[in-house]
């Protein structure tokens, strides 16, 4: 059996047990030597893996005002992050076999820090009207570039520690486990702590600076802090630039980018904007004033089903500006309303800027709407109002037959469920939700703007009977007792809503063969068409 040894200090070697005068190729890379300890290696792998997940989760929040909180947005961000991890790990491993990994770790961390700190500036600068393609490209770059660079750190560090083939499995397994733990910590820390308490811009800028500091610390051990300090300076400069760019948010809540604007002709008019969408309008001086068509349609349906001004027992899914609970309290004295709102930041904004005052008659609970419905006593409600949105979509778990079972259980025999949703184009989500409502209630109606090809208004001013409605906001009404469609149309006319009403056989034709939404099958984001003309 032969063997190969090499003593570079003598310029000679042994080949198959025979001395050789061969001198190795001077251009060949020197064998990597262990240059870091186990603690440093673990910290690098842990921190870089955690940083990738922080960037991924924060990217969802940063993009929400422009792309919405939809399944497609989440899938795109997760897919880009996974692609970055795969590419970075592969490329980092190949590079570690060709260069000294010690020379690459600091640049990987430093460049990542600069890109991460620049991310808020780059995304917001590209988020101009009509620039969806540019926004997507910039967003993809701000996820892929740092994700790939940070993912390349682990194979580099692994190479530095692999100086004994007998320990290969131990080293690779240990670092893989440390990286996974880092990813978990990054996910939990971001989702449960950072997003709730720190602005998105500050999270990214702070992470960029930390990566720059890590680069400086690593270089300090090798050949002085020059490269690392340069990375820190770049991250600070990028972070300062990003901090000067307006976020477009008055408050960055757990789920939303939120602002409150003065609006309308009244001095008390306030508009709540969530993720770029005009979500709620509140008149601080007149709670009976309803600005949006869908809220006036709510009022029309409620007054039709409950004539007079008697008090109602109501539960509201989604707070927004708490417009309808205030309207109920003002128009039907003695009414009680409980509001389930998952985003505590929105509730606080309602208190601070929209004059919300809670009491025994108006309670606001920070909770998921479906979980909140489970706590309602059977038959204890007259009215349930569904107005919860994530972006432009009703959260899927609030649309299903199982959720409707909870609503149906909570309502008394004459109770009414009114639901707002947004759809466009073929209205596939709206048809599916109407079909699902029909599974639990004997009488269902859909209220919406008449389709452009309808026969126009009648002599009474109401839209002519049509089997189609136009996209946008649609309000659905469901009850076990019959709906007085003529009275409902009169109420819509009185409030100048201008909508038509689909019910009975016309609604059946409109629904067609739409699927029933269940917990096992609720492709809400896929059924939804988010814009007109699509």
From edge to edge, which strands make up the β-sheet containing 251-252? Answer: 251-252, 257-262, 269-274, 277-283
pLDDT-derived band at 500 (thresholds 50, 70, 90) equals very high
Range of the domain at 20: 1-27
pLDDT digits (tens, 9 = 90+) for 211-230: 988 888 887 766 655 555 66
Q: What is the pLDDT of residue 410?
A: 98
Kindly state whether residue 482 falls inside one of the protein's structural domains. yes
Residue 269: φ, ψ to 5°: -70, 130
Q: 303 and 447: one domain?
A: yes
- pTM of the complete model: 0.76
pLDDT top residue among 462 and 271: 271
Q: 92 and 198: one domain?
A: yes
Q: 236 and 341: one domain?
A: no
Angle at 147 between CA 141 and CA 148, to 5 degrees: 90
Q: 85 and 169: one domain?
A: yes
Kindly state whether residue 296 falls inside one of the protein's structural domains. yes
In this structure, are residues 379 and 353 in contact, taking their beta carbons and an 8 Å threshold? no
Q: 183 and 310: one domain?
A: no
Give 305-337 as a 3 state SS string. Answer: HCCCCCCCEEEEECCCCCHHHHHHHHHCCCCEE
Q: For residue 217, what are the contacts with CB-CB under 8 A and spacing of at least 6? A: 228
Q: 119 and 240: one domain?
A: yes
**Domain end point (choices 185, 213, 244):** 244
Residue with tokens 């389930």: 340
Q: 386 and 424: one domain?
A: yes
Task: Give the integer Cα–Cα distance in Å for 334 and 300.
Answer: 20
pLDDT top residue among 196 and 174: 174
Q: What is the pLDDT of residue 226?
A: 58
Which candidate, 437, 472, 435, places its Cα nearest to that of 451?
A: 472
Q: What does DSSP assign to residue 410?
A: H
Residue 138 has pLDDT above 80, yes or no: yes
**Domain end point (choices 201, 217, 244):** 244
Kindly state whether residue 534 falls inside one of the protein's structural domains. no
Q: What is the pLDDT of residue 212?
A: 86
How much is the average pLDDT of 218-247? 61
pLDDT digits (tens, 9 = 90+) for 316-362: 999 999 999 999 999 999 999 999 999 998 999 999 999 999 999 99
pLDDT-derived band at 2 (thresholds 50, 70, 90) equals very low
Q: For residue 213, what are the contacts with CB-CB under 8 A and spacing of at least 6? A: 228, 232
How much is the average pLDDT of 441-454? 89
Angle at 218 between CA 215 and CA 220, to 5 degrees: 105
Q: 335 and 214: one domain?
A: no
pLDDT digits (tens, 9 = 90+) for 9-47: 444 444 444 444 445 555 544 444 446 889 999 999 999
Distances (CA, A) of 176 to 46, 57, 214, 325, 481: 9, 21, 20, 52, 61
CATH number of the domain residue 318 falls in: 3.40.50.150
Residue 294 has pLDDT above 70, yes or no: yes
Kindly state whether residue 250 falls inside one of the protein's structural domains. no
Which candidate, 321, 354, 309, 298, places its Cα nearest to that of 497?
A: 298
Q: 305 and 235: one domain?
A: no
pLDDT top residue among 203 and 233: 203
Q: What is the pLDDT of residue 3?
A: 43
Q: 167 and 308: one domain?
A: no
Kindly state whether residue 533 falls inside one of the protein's structural domains. no
Q: 16 and 132: one domain?
A: no
Which candidate, 203, 175, 234, places its Cα nearest to that of 48?
A: 175
Helical packing angle, 105-126 and 38-67, nearest 10°: 10
Residue 156 has pLDDT above 50, yes or no: yes
pLDDT-derived band at 133 (thresholds 50, 70, 90) equals confident
Count of domains in the chain?
Answer: 3
Kindly state whether residue 258 falls inside one of the protein's structural domains. no
Residue 192 has pLDDT above 60, yes or no: yes
Task: Give the integer Cα–Cα distance in Å for 64 and 67.
Answer: 5
CATH number of the domain residue 161 falls in: 1.20.1250.20
Task: Give the integer Cα–Cα distance in Å for 189 and 305.
Answer: 48
Q: 272 and 385: one domain?
A: yes
Kindly state whether residue 249 falls inside one of the protein's structural domains. no
Question: Where do runs of H (alpha helix) occur along 31-167?
Answer: 38-67, 71-96, 105-126, 132-151, 153-161
pLDDT-derived band at 252 (thresholds 50, 70, 90) equals confident
Q: What is the pLDDT of residue 19?
A: 43
What is the Cα gyration radius of the chain?
30
**Across 137-151, 247-261, 479-493, least confident range:** 247-261
**Across 203-207, 433-437, 457-461, least confident range:** 457-461
Quote the tokens at residue 529: 């068409």
Kindly state whether residue 489 falls inside one of the protein's structural domains. yes
Using left for φ > 0, alpha for ψ between -120 and 50, and beta otherwise, residue 504 falls in left
pLDDT-derived band at 459 (thresholds 50, 70, 90) equals very low
């Amino acid at each position: 059996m032969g063997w190969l040894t090499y003593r570079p200090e003598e310029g000679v070697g042994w080949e198959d047990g025979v001395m050789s005068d061969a001198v190795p190729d001077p251009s060949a890379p020197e064998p990597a030597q262990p240059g870091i300890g186990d603690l440093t290696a673990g910290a690098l792998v842990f921190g870089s893996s955690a940083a990738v997940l922080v960037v991924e989760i924060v990217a969802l929040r940063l993009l929400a005002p422009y792309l919405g909180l939809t399944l497609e947005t989440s899938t795109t961000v997760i897919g880009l992050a996974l692609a970055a991890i795969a590419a970075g790990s592969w490329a980092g491993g190949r590079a570690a076999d060709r260069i000294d990994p010690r020379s690459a770790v600091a640049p990987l961390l430093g460049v990542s820090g600069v890109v991460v700190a620049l991310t808020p500036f780059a995304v917001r600068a590209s988020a101009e009207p009509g620039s969806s393609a540019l926004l997507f490209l910039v967003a993809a770059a701000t996820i892929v570039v740092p994700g790939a660079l940070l993912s390349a750190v682990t194979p580099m560090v692994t190479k530095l520690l692999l100086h004994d083939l007998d320990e290969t499995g131990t080293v690779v397994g240990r670092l893989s486990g440390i990286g996974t733990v880092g990813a978990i910590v990054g996910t939990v820390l971001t989702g449960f702590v950072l997003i709730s308490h720190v602005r998105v811009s500050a999270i990214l800028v702070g992470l960029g600076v930390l990566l720059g500091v890590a680069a400086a610390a690593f270089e300090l051990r090798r050949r002085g802090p020059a490269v690392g300090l340069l990375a820190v300076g770049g991250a600070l400069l990028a972070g300062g630039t990003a901090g000067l760019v307006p976020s477009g948010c008055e408050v960055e809540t757990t789920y939303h980018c939120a602002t409150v604007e003065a609006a309308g002709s009244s001095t008390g008019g306030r508009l709540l904007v969530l993720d770029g969408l005009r979500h709620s309008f509140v008149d601080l001086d007149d709670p009976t004033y309803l600005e949006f068509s869908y809220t006036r349609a709510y009022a029309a349906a409620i007054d039709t089903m409950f004539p007079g001004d008697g008090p109602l027992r109501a539960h509201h899914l989604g707070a927004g500006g708490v417009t309808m609970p205030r309207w109920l309290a003002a128009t039907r004295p003695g009414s009680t309303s409980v509001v389930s709102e998952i985003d505590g930041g929105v509730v606080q904004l309602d208190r601070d800027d929209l004059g919300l005052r809670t009491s025994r008659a108006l309670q606001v609970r920070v909770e998921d709407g479906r979980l909140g419905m489970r706590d309602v006593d059977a038959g204890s409600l007259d009215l349930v109002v569904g107005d919860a949105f994530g972006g432009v979509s009703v959260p899927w778990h609030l649309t299903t037959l199982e959720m409707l079972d909870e609503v149906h259980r909570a309502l008394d025999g004459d109770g009414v469920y009114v639901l707002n949703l947004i759809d466009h184009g073929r209205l596939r989500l709206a048809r599916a939700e109407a079909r699902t409502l029909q599974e639990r209630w004997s009488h269902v109606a859909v209220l919406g703007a008449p389709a452009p090809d309808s026969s126009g208004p009648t002599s009474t001013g109401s839209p002519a009977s049509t089997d189609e409605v136009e996209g946008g906001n649609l309000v659905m009404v469901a009850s076990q007792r019959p709906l007085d469609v003529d009275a409902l149309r009169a109420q819509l006319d009185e409030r100048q809503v201008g909508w038509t009403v689909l019910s009975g056989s016309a609604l059946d034709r409109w629904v067609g063969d739409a699927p029933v939404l269940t917990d096992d099958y609720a492709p809400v984001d896929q059924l939804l068409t988010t814009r007109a003309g699509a």
